[in-house]
Amino acid sequence: MGLSDEQLERYARHLILKDVGVRGQKRLLRARVLIIGAGGLGSPVGLYLAAAGVGTIGIVDDDVVDLSNLQRQIIHTNDSVGVPKVESAARRMTALNPDVTVNAIRATVDAGNIADLIADYDVIVDATDNFAAKFLINDACVLAGKPFVHGGVVRFAGQVMDYVPGEGPCYRCIFREMPAAGEIPTCREAGVLGAAVGVIGSLQAVEVVKLITGAGDPLVARMLTADMLTMKIRTVPLPERVPDCPVCGERPTITALDADNYVQPACAI
């Protein structure tokens, strides 16, 4: 597959990067990425992956745009209020780059449908706002052998890590048990700085591009944490493997997705 004259111009700044180049851009154009959540994290992820030329981008969310979303969910506009988020997001992404195919999937992600949703995609992006969703995405991706990029933000702080099958720990390796309901506040309860969500979502987009192209050193067995009040940004080493992890360990106890274990539906920050 050659690049058209328009693609050579559009992706020119990628093509001169020795870690991307023509080969990496072709990989991006062939890639399929699913973003779960069309909110604060999903906004920069969707825009930057569309701009980068990821060939097929799925975006799944069941919500509609609310005025209070616009402080951080920059893929939407004032005219999108009341419109399903996936439709609003798909319009912006294809307007930015008609080279890409955007699958707008209006659905609540749960234990009953997530396996089908992720099946046709190469990389999954966790752009959700609650722990039940994050554990669900992790467990589904581990069971399906799919890499995914985790992101989380509350107030002024956030984190990013990658899971790649067979190459490092999963989200459940690190956090193990889901916090009790109400134990840790969501951004709806605690607040969140819009620009902080943009930083973390942009980092997630970087990680997706790295996983697809093979560029650089992805955040596998490492977690990046950023406190944007103090501007302390650290990369924390994680264990290479956790043998007793209940989903990816040597004797897993989670071998199927039980809806009773993920009682809160996925929603976007």
Quick count: other Cβ atoms within 10 Å of Cβ 248?
Answer: 24
pLDDT tens, residue by residue, 25-46: 999 999 999 999 999 999 999 9
What does residue 128 show for φ and ψ, rounded to 5 degrees? -110, 175
Q: Is 20 annotated as a binding residue?
A: no
Cα torsion angle, 119, 204, 161, 13, sign:
positive
The class of domain 31-261 in CATH terms is alpha beta
What does residue 151 show for φ and ψ, rounded to 5 degrees? -145, 145
By CB neighbour count within 10 A (0-12 exposed, 13-18 middle, 19+ buried), where does 104 fall?
A: buried
Q: Answer left, alpha or beta for residue 104, where phi above 0 means left and psi between -120 and 50 means alpha.
A: beta
Quick count: other Cβ atoms within 10 Å of Cβ 131?
Answer: 21
Q: Is 248 annotated as a binding residue?
A: yes
The catalytic residues are 187
Kindly report the pTM of this predicted structure: 0.96
Residue 203 to residue 48: CA distance in whole angstroms? 10
Banded model confidence at residue 222, pLDDT cuts 50, 70, 90: very high
What was the pLDDT predicted at 254?
95
pLDDT tens, residue by residue, 7-25: 999 999 999 999 999 999 9
Q: Is the pLDDT of residue 157 over 90?
A: yes
Q: Is 245 annotated as a binding residue?
A: yes
Q: Is 141 annotated as a binding residue?
A: no
Q: Answer left, alpha or beta for residue 37, where phi above 0 means left and psi between -120 and 50 means alpha.
A: left
What was the pLDDT predicted at 150?
98
Q: Is 173 annotated as a binding residue?
A: yes
Q: Which of 132, 170, 131, 166 is nearest to 148 (CA)?
A: 170
Banded model confidence at residue 239, pLDDT cuts 50, 70, 90: very high
Residue 47 to residue 202: CA distance in whole angstroms? 9
Q: Is 267 annotated as a binding residue?
A: no
Residue 138 to residue 246: CA distance in whole angstroms? 12
Report helix angle 42-52 to 85-96, nearest 10. Answer: 30
Q: Is 146 annotated as a binding residue?
A: no
Burial annotation 3-23 (CB, 10 A radius, 16+ → b, else e)? beeebeebbeebbeeeebeee
Per cent of the chain over pLDDT 90 is 87
Q: Is the pLDDT of residue 181 over 90?
A: no
Q: Is the pLDDT of residue 107 over 70?
A: yes
